[in-house]
Structure 1
Amino acid sequence: MEREKALAIVEKQLKKKRYEHTVRVMETAIALAEHYSANVKKAEQAAIFHDYAKYRDIKEMRRWVIEEKLPQDLLEYGDELLHGPVGSVMVEREVGIKDPEVQSAIYYHTTGKSYMSLLDKIIFIADYIEPGRSFLGVDEVRAIVYEDIDQACWMAARNTVQFLMEHEQPVYPDTFHLYNEGLMIKK
């Protein structure tokens, strides 16, 4: 699917600021894919559709989790996580994207996971570091992402775990697994 057509589809699903975020994620993902010799077209597509389900009704997303037999524990960790896994299924059903690599990158863009593919890492970290993001720790991750994407993903997971713990929020297990994987590799 061509970029302009994909962006037009997504623009109808998102609020203006979220659409602008999506464009920045796309640009960041393309730059990272080029740098790491990944498939640029797949990175572009996954980035464009990563927040496809972001503004869907929560009840609708919960229904998709149940009906599509997605992991039921998604329903226990806060509704903010639903749009990735649900979006990965919605883009297949509603847009016709049937590429497992693209769908995986959409699925895990919020939580991350251990043993991510390069495309998973690119979308996960592009969403985290895109130029519109401004929060504690993001500049530290931006500074290393073009040297070591694995380290950057670990740092993003670490920062996320710390933030959620400080706010007494539950941490989805996949994020812990990503954090632990990175920590074990460092040793």
Structure 2
Amino acid sequence: MAYSREALIEAVSTQMPDKRWKHTLGVMESSIKLAERYGADPVRAEEAAILHDVAKYWPVDSMKEIIEQNGLSAELLKHDKQLWHAEVGAFVAERDYGIIDPEVIAAIRFHTSGRVGMSLLEKIVCLADYIEPGRDFPGVENIRKLAKISLEEGLVAGFDSTISLLLEKRRIIFPLTVLARNDLVRLLEENK
């Protein structure tokens, strides 16, 4: 059963604290703007943005169970639990909210890590998650500036920021993020 936009917002907003819902509203706004700027469907971008953090505040055990019992990326279980909600959220978007658009599902799945060969919609939602108006971290203004010039430049700056922070904290870096970043750098080099 597919949800209307309003019903989807109502259902998803109850899955998280008010502060995270405010973040989601910012990602929705940023996704629409980026979609309009770069020629993607703003309705699909907003739908993915509404659902991108649907599982963010689920218990870790519940996310692990969904990953294990549904053949999702077992590789994730070896990495930071902060990554799990994207994979689980994509699964839940389809199972619980009737989302059948594979690009919307992929945009939810890869909004934290990116991947090699990101689609336009995946780039938009991932970048919107970095630059939404409520975000405040070192370098975010530069990422916002670059997002007005190029999705790829904005994402490379975003991934660089994440990777730098993880290096500084001596944390494990999810390999897909490094591969996604390198793929975007390669793409930018080829298009010079």
TM over 0.5: yes
Q: Tell me the equivalent position of 1:162.
A: 164
Residue 97 of structure 1 is matched in structure 2 by: 99
Within a 5 Å distance, the mapping from 1:29-44 to structure 2 comes to 29-44=31-46
Where does residue 147 of structure 1 map in the other structure? 149
Q: In the aligned structure 1, how far is the partner of 2:146 from the partner of 2:161?
A: 14
**TM-fit CA distance, 1:186:** 4.3
Count of aligned positions: 187
Per-residue CA distance 1:55-75 (angstroms, 9 max, x = gap) = 111001001111111121100
- The answer for unaligned runs of 5 or more in structure 2 is none
What is the CA–CA distance in structure 2 between the aligned matches of 1:184 and 1:92, rounded to whole Å? 32
The SS at the match of 1:53 is coil
Paired residue for 1:180?
Answer: 182
**TM-score of the aligned structures, taking structure 1 as reference length:** 0.96
The answer (yes or no) to whether the contact 2:73–2:87 under 8 Å persists in 1 is no
* 1:28 and 2:30 matched: yes
Compute the TM-score of the two structures, normalised by the length of structure 2. 0.94
Q: Report the equivalent of 1:16.
A: 18
Aligned partner (choices 82, 85, 91) of residue 84 of structure 2: 82
In 2: Cα distance, 1:18 partner to 1:55 partner: 9
How do 1:117-128 residues align onto structure 2 when only pairs under 5 Å count?
117-128=119-130
Structure 1 residues not aligned, in runs of 5+: none
Runs of 4+ in 1 over 6 A off after TM superposition: none
Name the CA distance, whole Å, in 1 between partners of 2:187 and 2:110.
Answer: 20
Give the corresponding residue for 1:3.
5
Alpha-carbon distance in structure 2 between the residues aligned to 1:91 and 1:54: 13
**Superposition RMSD on alpha carbons, in Å?**
1.1
Give identity over the alignment, percent: 39
